[in-house]
Structure 1
């Protein structure tokens, strides 16, 4: 690898990228921007999206097909001459894959072909997302577990976004070195001028209201039925509270409908609003307008939106979960057991204590600055410099070849039906 101080050429392979909204695309874009400002070269290989023509510098689009089980998601078809052309053009020092399948496997093949170190970031607890595959979870679970473990073991370095993920992987017989590097936060967009009250005016809610928000995908794994019920209880106790759920639903006709039905049964249709998807540059205004950020997911590998809220100076209340508790310390917010009474009581007590809220806002900003995009990019590139490529040939990796249960071309065909 390059010596300390030299620039690094990085090839990133991902199955999701902008304009798709999610933690992985945000993580990649944040790192790419920060690394390029430090003088490094980052080329992203990502799926194409219909109607999206602005690739931006250093993004190579791969043909894709629509995933029928997840709205707005497109699966890359991992065969493209553009990949080979790029590897001939750029002298890559690192191949960094974000998923263990589709373009992740392509990235592994290219790393082995050109004898380049392969780094894999374990962004997702894959077993928590098997309901999106067109096969029974009882079948998919052991196969996915075996596959992801094998992929980690045939990488040269595994990046975990949190200590929790590192501990989780360490229990899976993974022999590859695992380093913890969280996704950073790009702080510059948060410095733009913001007119307090503008979001409330836009949505025609009282200026004196206390605004509680959630931002993220509207999906079952985010534990939103619990969160919506908590929002309803908080709003009933405090007549000045207004709540917003911001994000796109992957199952709009099903899960979001269920959430809205809960809101209707609670009689809170005028107090709990579903905003829909908001571009990230606009989402910052919602973070800044909010008094509290609420989060209930227990499947996160980091919980990037928590740091995003903190970058706006917004304290957080979250359901206690291993990765989440690494970023919330009682000074910038609180983690609470999944108990409706305790979650509701904590939110109400914070809203009543303006002095504590002000101090927590200041502490939240400090936490975000500690995890700035520049700091995290430097940390990740430092790990890149240490890693060396394995001598194994991809074609001889028997444990990966033995996983013939996962035929991704077949999965694509099933999803297209």
Structure 2
């Protein structure tokens, strides 16, 4: 089978969707299938893989100075020669629209995975998110030949335009736009049950939606060695690690603030880069914990795996933004207990391997950290549970389910 993944931002960029796509590619190839990746050109990156198709791109500034593929009439025709059996979009933006056009031209199934909803970032990027919603609202009816999706705002809400009211209306509109895209596909995937329910009930998703959690190569993290870490760890120290983009929606500020309520041997390791780094450094200085925060920066997967093995607890403070973070899977595969604060997230999070904080503040998180780090027997039990839970998310199993889906869709078309 010849499979094409369309993704708006691929390796060498390090984030959950790119990591998941790369893992699925390897697993599908191990099963004997041919996989292509269609992605924008990455600045400064020279591509040597003939199965990664790079498209010309331009800068955009929604979250960072990233590259976005240039989409133009006639571009879909370029892919006729590849004779794909199925296309799978990991995005509902420009390359998702291109995937739709390619599938329609070649008469093949189009599967899309909904990873997250960007309107949840309205507080942090108001201008960019509103502009994006407007652009998509006009572009989808033209590109997808579909009925326009117009905002639904009750007149009583207009009389009392509160920030919360506007945000809720934009969020609902975002879900409806996302579902409108998915409804033009042959199948929709959601990495978590709660996201699938929102798509159906709030967005109006009408096509079949399969819950397929992201998968990883669990052996890669299980076999990593803590002694290969680049960060020294003194006897008696405890490491709390967070691997995520340093940005407002990830709320690392709460992790920094938690240190003020934790004993001195506890260190916070922040892996990743982003616009919040300067603010996080300032807050750490204000609290007098700057010497206990390590900014590791962007690291390749091999070094991330060794840091996960070296750490004592994995933490993520994002709230009502993430869907099924890949980092939870990676942490569990490395045998790390997880502390989190978003009650909506459930995949890979059980009482065997994770602790849900009682709230979202630094003090709330600190109580959860103390609960885990202050009880060696509990810590060891959570480590064992993490390794067990991670086996349910091995990418080889998920890839097999993906092939079953593709095969059914192809046979249905025939």
Normalization by structure 1: what TM-score? 0.83
> How much has 1:54 moved relative to structure 2?
3.1
Whether 2:341 is the aligned partner of 1:310: answer: no
Whether 2:395 is the aligned partner of 1:356: answer: no
Match of 2:97 among 101, 105, 111: 105
> How much has 1:273 moved relative to structure 2?
1.6
Aligned residues: 372
Whether 2:77 is the aligned partner of 1:77: answer: no
Q: 1:243 aligns to what? A: 268
Q: Secondary structure at the match of 1:293?
A: strand
Q: 1:347 aligns to what? A: 369
Match of 1:194 among 225, 234, 240: 225
Whether 2:330 is the aligned partner of 1:330: answer: no
CA distance in 1, matches of 2:129, 2:406: 38
CA distance in 1, matches of 2:48, 2:186: 29
Q: Secondary structure at the match of 2:346?
A: helix
Q: 1:386 aligns to what? A: 408
1:103-142 Cα deviation digits (max 9, x unpaired): 1101101111111111110011221235557546396536
Q: Secondary structure at the match of 2:47?
A: coil
Q: 2:178 aligns to what? A: 148
Instruction: Kindly report which structure 2 residues correspond to 1:3-402, keeping only aligned pairs within 5 A, or say none.
Output: 8-79=1-72, 84-90=77-83, 92-130=84-122, 132=125, 134-135=127-128, 137=130, 140=134, 141=170, 144-171=174-201, 172-192=203-223, 194-196=225-227, 198-199=228-229, 202-234=230-262, 238-249=263-274, 251=275, 255-298=276-319, 299-322=321-344, 324-340=345-361, 341-387=363-409
- Give unpaired runs (5+ residues) of structure 1: 1-7, 392-417
CA distance in 2, matches of 1:126, 1:77: 20
C-alpha change, 1:208 and 1:136, in structure 2 (3 Å) is closer
1:219-257 Cα deviation digits (max 9, x unpaired): 1111222222123322xxx221111111110x2xxx222
CA distance in 2, matches of 1:73, 1:79: 19
CA distance in 2, matches of 1:143, 1:353: 46
Q: Secondary structure at the match of 1:387?
A: helix
Normalization by structure 2: what TM-score? 0.84
CA distance in 1, matches of 2:179, 2:364: 37
C-alpha change, 1:83 and 1:186, in structure 2 (3 Å) is farther
Q: 2:152 aligns to what? A: none
C-alpha change, 1:232 and 1:102, in structure 2 (3 Å) is same
125-134 or 267-276: bigger deviation: 125-134
Greater RCO, 1 or 2 (C-alpha within 8 Å, sep 6+) = 1
CA distance in 1, matches of 2:126, 2:28: 34
CA distance in 1, matches of 2:214, 2:129: 32
CA distance in 2, matches of 1:55, 1:177: 37
C-alpha change, 1:352 and 1:337, in structure 2 (3 Å) is closer
CA contact (8 A) 2:191 2:213 kept: yes
CA contact (8 A) 1:69 1:133 kept: no
1:172-214 Cα deviation digits (max 9, x unpaired): 2111110000110112322545143x53xx4344233111111
